[in-house]
């Protein structure tokens, strides 16, 4: 994966967009003292280079009835089964993140369910049914204290 350098203007644009992805480009331009065309070109370049992966709204799972957040470590029967297991995990809509990891687990996932009963169903009816999964270990999140984007690098001088 290639690392791209960003200058101070790109960094400032990203800071503003990370705070509010819906902000109009003209408002970003006013804040930075540049033209709207400059912002449009910069955002297009940041997107083309893969620095901006997309824009989306962040949905509050709790407000949609998903009250239980859990992290689940997955042990595989064999490491070579990883690609097949991940394809099966993609089919389980309650899984919101999936990571290939080092350490004790082969895979670590984040799951949102309506409640603990729903979590039990996901574990027993969906996860344990995936061929290649040896066993799982579940951690229920009691509260998300904070969530944030990665820090933006400072311009090298």
Q: For 47-92, what is each residue's pLDDT tens digit?
A: 999 999 888 788 899 999 999 999 999 999 999 999 999 999 999 9
Report the pLDDT value the prediction gives residue 1, as an integer from 0 to 100. 60
Determine the average pLDDT of the residues in 128-147: 96
53-56's contacts with Cβ under 8 Å and 24+ in sequence apart are: 55/17, 55/21, 56/21
CB 115 within 8 A of CB 69: no
Report the pLDDT value the prediction gives residue 88, as an integer from 0 to 100. 98
Whole-prediction pTM: 0.80
Which residue, chain included where needed, has tokens 């099966």?
A: 88
Q: What is the mean pLDDT of the chain?
A: 93
CA atoms within 13 A on the CB side of 78: 4
Residue 148 has pLDDT above 70, yes or no: yes
> pLDDT above 70 covers what percent of the chain?
97
Residue 134 has pLDDT above 80, yes or no: yes
Determine the average pLDDT of the residues in 24-37: 96
Residue 157 has pLDDT above 60, yes or no: no
Which strands, in side-by-side order, build the sheet including 68-76? 95-100, 107-113, 68-76, 133-141
Residue 149 has pLDDT above 90, yes or no: no
The band of 2, judged by pLDDT with boundaries at 50, 70 and 90, is: low
Residue 100's SS3 state is: strand
d(CA 25, CA 42): 10
Residue 155 has pLDDT above 80, yes or no: no
Can you list the domains of the chain with their CATH numbers? Answer: 8-48 (1.10.10.10), 61-141 (3.30.70.920)
Between the CA of residue 128 and those of 4, 51, 85, 113, 134, what are the distances in Å? 41, 36, 11, 16, 8
- CA 38 to chain centroid, in Å, comes to 29
The encoded tokens of residue 132 equal 């290649």
Report the pLDDT value the prediction gives residue 51, as an integer from 0 to 100. 92
Report the pLDDT value the prediction gives residue 71, as an integer from 0 to 100. 98
């Amino acid at each position: 994966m290639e690392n791209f350098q960003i200058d101070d203007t790109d960094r400032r644009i990203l800071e503003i967009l990370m705070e509010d992805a819906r902000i109009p480009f003209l408002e970003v331009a006013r804040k930075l003292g540049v033209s709207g065309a400059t912002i449009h070109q910069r955002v297009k370049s940041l997107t083309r280079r893969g620095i901006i992966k997309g824009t989306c709204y962040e949905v509050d799972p709790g407000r949609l009835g998903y009250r239980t957040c859990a992290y689940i470590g997955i042990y595989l029967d064999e490491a070579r089964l990883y690609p097949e297991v991940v394809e099966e995990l993609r089919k389980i809509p309650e899984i919101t993140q999936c990571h290939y990891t080092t350490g004790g687990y082969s895979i670590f996932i984040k799951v949102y369910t309506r409640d603990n009963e729903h979590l039990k169903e996901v574990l027993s009816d969906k996860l344990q049914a995936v061929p290649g999964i040896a066993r799982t270990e579940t951690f229920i999140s009691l509260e998300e204290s904070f969530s944030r984007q990665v820090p933006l690098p400072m311009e090298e001088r």
